[in-house]
Structure 1
Amino acid sequence: MAALVLGALAGCSDASGDAADPTAGPTHRAAAPVRLPVPDGFDTETGWSTTASPEATDLQPGSSGFPLVAVAPRSSLVVQAAADGSRVRAFSLASGKTVWTFTPKALKSARTGVFVEAGKGGEKVVLARQGKTSGSGLNTSRRATTIDVIAADSAAKATAEHHLDLTEPDDTASSFTATDSGFLVGPVTDGVHEQAVVIDAATGAQRTVRAKTVTVPGCGSGSCPVQASPAFATSQGVVSAFQQQDGCDQWAQGGTPCTYGFQVGDVWTSTSVAPSGMRVGIPLAVAGQYLVAAWHTSDTQTDQPALSDTKETTLSVHDLATGKIKAQVRCTSADALTLQPGSAQSSTRLSPNGDFLISGQAGFDLSTGRGHCFMSTASTKGIDLTAVSDDGTAYGIVHAVDQTEATSLYGRLPIAQDGTDTPERDSARVSVRTGTAKALPTAAEVPVYLAADGHGVFRTRDVVAVYPGS
């Protein structure tokens, strides 16, 4: 799961014993955790906490950014990276004790992200860094991206199963695009890559993928060639987004509407699984064996598809392997939110038992195929969901529109700015089963992960805290 920054606190207790580097220090934890203001149902008198570094600002909204905290759910670990990428530490989710530490090769001026991927080889922790080589000896300093893959079940002093050095041109600003089963590195524009490197965490293999022309069915009365660009990688292959350029009405003047869509590896294409009458399909996120997509009946080529109050958006959960729809719901929003490939990845989660899925401002009961909208209306604010439990109880942040590119993207979770206090945010508890929502007390933090045993993981600008259910 991607890390999330929710608020700022004045002080904290440190499980690591080193405020400058939350991943350094002894393996014991403090006697009493920091008591964050959290919803009822969590015991803040027990559990554990550690200091956290502010996360680097993500310059390319829609990518996965530079999270410093991730959860490995199968291994029951909370994984934390130092902001400069000099160390990674894995804590037991339940006890807070250090399970392993990892020290990578040095990289100067590093921007760091830590991610968790699951596959047949088990869970892998991916440490991704952008910085400069040292330039020692006869070697000149150069920009570089390094990828280290560490097994989640490593011994106390972990080593990288795979280490990759990706040289970057001076005029390129790469970004990380991560799902729980795939990893891309490359520049991002409007949620897609013209060229990217796919990293296989299980084998360490890397390959370059590029925008390409493919022929897809369901364009007008037949098939059509489209330019498909890589958006994100999954266990079923790279998901590529496309936009029909020819043989359609680009200006919505009564001709055949143009098609937006996507292709999942070489397995299936959105035009073959679209809900009836839908010609615009945007792949928003992947969680486990599900892909979440947004659908419209038609749109013009001049505007990016958006969630609005003038036209319903169908949000659907698809089987990643087949494209079959597992659940769907129709929603509108009083906020104009751009629908972009991958934009809801940071807010898409499955409950531990797999019965419920949240994505952006929508929640789905996969056992019944029903969904509920938690978008804004003329009288209520939208809720950006952050975590969901096995009984369908979910938590979220009340959406604050501040005219930035990040908040205008549907499903985008907030990331704190460096060196500034994060303003307090309102939060809410919702039921994915019934669609009801209730505001939480002012400034209450919400979990970014909920474990099957009731533990909740909370992440503020300064603290990572884990509390058991009460």
Structure 2
Amino acid sequence: MTLGGTMGQRVVRVALVAGVIVLALLLLLATCGGGGGGDATDGKRPPPGPSASASTRKSAAAGTATRLAVPSAYANGRGWEITGASPEYAVAASAGRVGLLERVSAARFRLRTVDAAGGRTRWTGDAWQPLSDPAHFPRLLAVAKDGREFFVTWSYGKVGEDALSSADMIVALDVYDVRNGAQRRIELPWADVPSVTGDGPGVLVSDGGADSAVVDPVTGLVTRVAAKDLRYPKGCGGCRTQTQVRAATEKGLLVSGRREFWVRGGWHSRTRAPGGTDAASGVPTSVADGRVLAKWRKKRGSEGAADYDVWAVHDATSGKVLARAQCRRPAIEPGTYPRAALSPEGRYVVAGSLGFDLETGSGHCFEEPDGTRPLSLTAVTDTGVAYGTTATRTPVEADLTARRPTALAANVHVPAVEVAGTGLFPWTDRKDRPRLTAYARRG
């Protein structure tokens, strides 16, 4: 055999080996780089740039959620997690879905909706640019009407680059049908910085006082209501002082004055006061799922009147008292705090130190007899177990039926809400990235 023939054979062998290596690499890429098998992006690649950090991590089946210390009722060995999305999220309880905003570019965002049980993406909205500072996420809320649920994103700012006055300022709302992501854009001229809420069957836009507008999420119809149209109850001198539109209800706007409150065209608090209270002392604190939480003064001269307030949960449609409790003053201040939260099926209500069972009509204030060491309860489950913290930020769970609180270990994360049998645990990691971790309830 000649030297040339030997060299030729070596070249052929090297080429064959290289070809085999390339083929193996191609096969490896084909089997490992595909749709992601259970990724909450449904096989879609995350967009380039900032939004890549907001893509959903693999779902519960992949077991990639961070293993946080949580109450024993939740299984932290299986779950899903989203990193880098908006710290504010919305929940559609009946549909069992969670909505979050993610950044697509430096100035554009989009809404992503995932199943609470499993973390699978259901739909993703089109990217859009808010009117407000794009350095911060736009605002997000949930609203329900006529058995339908909606996610709403909103921002406030000027129209165009040449806006010169408050007349050029608008509230821009994007209303999404939770079922399929159908989107409706609504722009509402608004001179002052708005307050926007979705506590009733409509999106309430107000100036923090008596002027307001209600956006119907089903039709997009906007109904503006001026202070002169609030239908003040007869004989209520305090109703025209410190007037504030609080929420939309099935029967109309819930409005409060210095001491009393009413539903425009519906009921007046003076005729719905809990027994043993001053009928002209009611102040609503918050509204949630057709329930109004209000504070009342006890009748002068009655037992405990100098030290205790009565807190009642009212039906927003009729004003009927559904449950009541009393707390020492000033353990809880009226106004926008405490925020009421209902269990998924609506039997239990918690708000600050208060816990109510609407089925039995009972309530309890979780504090010491002298008013010290109050709890701050923010979530409650259908089993009647509530979660929150103490005044020193120690995590706690409280059995509303047994009226017994239990302190948890300092490193335990408590759920912000439970939906579809899944607890949602928002937190921030060491890189200052917001994360939302979800674990299923055991059993």
Percent identity for Structure 1 against Structure 2: 27
Counterpart contact for 2:281–2:297, Cα < 8 Å: yes
| Alignment of 1:439 onto 2:407 | yes
Counterpart contact for 2:193–2:207, Cα < 8 Å: yes
What SS does the corresponding residue of 2:270 show, helix, strand or coil?
Answer: helix
Q: CA deviation at 1:25?
A: 4.0
Q: Equivalent of 1:82, from 98, 102, 114?
A: 102
Q: Which residue of 2 aligns with 1:329?
A: 325
Q: Which residue of 1 aligns with 2:418?
A: 450
Counterpart contact for 1:230–1:241, Cα < 8 Å: yes
Q: CA deviation at 1:86?
A: 1.2
Counterpart contact for 1:217–1:271, Cα < 8 Å: no
Q: Which residue of 1 aligns with 2:81?
A: 49
| Alignment of 1:123 onto 2:123 | no
- Mapped to 1, the partners of 2:201 and 2:399 lie a distance apart of 28
- Mapped to 2, the partners of 1:38 and 1:26 lie a distance apart of 21
Q: Equivalent of 1:371, from 363, 369, 372?
A: 363
Map residues 67-466 of structure 1 onto 2, 5 A cutoff: 68-82=88-102, 86-108=109-131, 109-110=133-134, 112-132=138-158, 135=161, 143-154=169-180, 158-160=181-183, 162-169=184-191, 172-188=192-208, 193-212=209-228, 214-216=231-233, 226-227=240-241, 228-243=243-258, 260-275=259-274, 276-278=276-278, 279-297=280-298, 311-333=307-329, 335=331, 337-340=332-335, 342-344=336-338, 347-375=339-367, 378=370, 380-399=372-391, 425-451=393-419, 453=421, 455-461=422-428, 462-466=434-438
Q: CA deviation at 1:391?
A: 1.5
- Mapped to 2, the partners of 1:114 and 1:187 lie a distance apart of 18
Residues 390-420 of structure 1 show CA distances to partners (whole Å, capped at 9, x for unaligned) of 12111012235xxxxxxxxxxxxxxxxxxxx
Q: Which residue of 1 aligns with 2:15?
A: none
- Mapped to 1, the partners of 2:111 and 2:375 lie a distance apart of 32
Bigger Rg, which one: 2
Q: CA deviation at 1:148?
A: 0.8
Counterpart contact for 1:431–1:437, Cα < 8 Å: yes
What SS does the corresponding residue of 2:240 show, helix, strand or coil?
Answer: strand
Counterpart contact for 1:145–1:167, Cα < 8 Å: yes
What SS does the corresponding residue of 1:434 show, helix, strand or coil?
Answer: coil
Residues 371-390 of structure 1 show CA distances to partners (whole Å, capped at 9, x for unaligned) of 01124665852222121111
* 1:184 partner amino acid: L
Counterpart contact for 1:217–1:224, Cα < 8 Å: no
Task: Provide closer, same or farther for how the CA distance between residues 298 and 208 of structure 1 changes in structure 2, counting only shifts above 3 A.
Answer: farther
Counterpart contact for 2:78–2:440, Cα < 8 Å: yes
- Mapped to 2, the partners of 1:466 and 1:316 lie a distance apart of 32
- Mapped to 2, the partners of 1:298 and 1:226 lie a distance apart of 23
* 2:240 partner amino acid: V
- Mapped to 2, the partners of 1:54 and 1:229 lie a distance apart of 30
Q: Compute the RMSD of aligned alpha carbons.
A: 3.1
Q: CA deviation at 1:99?
A: 0.4
- Mapped to 2, the partners of 1:294 and 1:139 lie a distance apart of 43
Residues 205-256 of structure 1 show CA distances to partners (whole Å, capped at 9, x for unaligned) of 112223337443575xxx887354312222222111113xxxxxxxxxxxxx
Q: CA deviation at 1:104?
A: 4.8
Counterpart contact for 1:231–1:241, Cα < 8 Å: yes
What SS does the corresponding residue of 1:442 show, helix, strand or coil?
Answer: coil
Counterpart contact for 2:40–2:114, Cα < 8 Å: no
Does 1 or 2 have the higher relative contact order (CA < 8 Å, sep 6+)?
1
- Mapped to 1, the partners of 2:435 and 2:56 lie a distance apart of 17
* 2:74 partner amino acid: F
- Mapped to 2, the partners of 1:438 and 1:22 lie a distance apart of 40
Which ranges of structure 1 fall in alignment gaps of 5 or more residues?
1-13, 56-67, 244-259, 300-307, 401-424
What SS does the corresponding residue of 1:268 show, helix, strand or coil?
Answer: coil
Counterpart contact for 1:71–1:77, Cα < 8 Å: yes
Q: Which residue of 2 aligns with 1:469?
A: 441
Q: CA deviation at 1:361?
A: 2.0
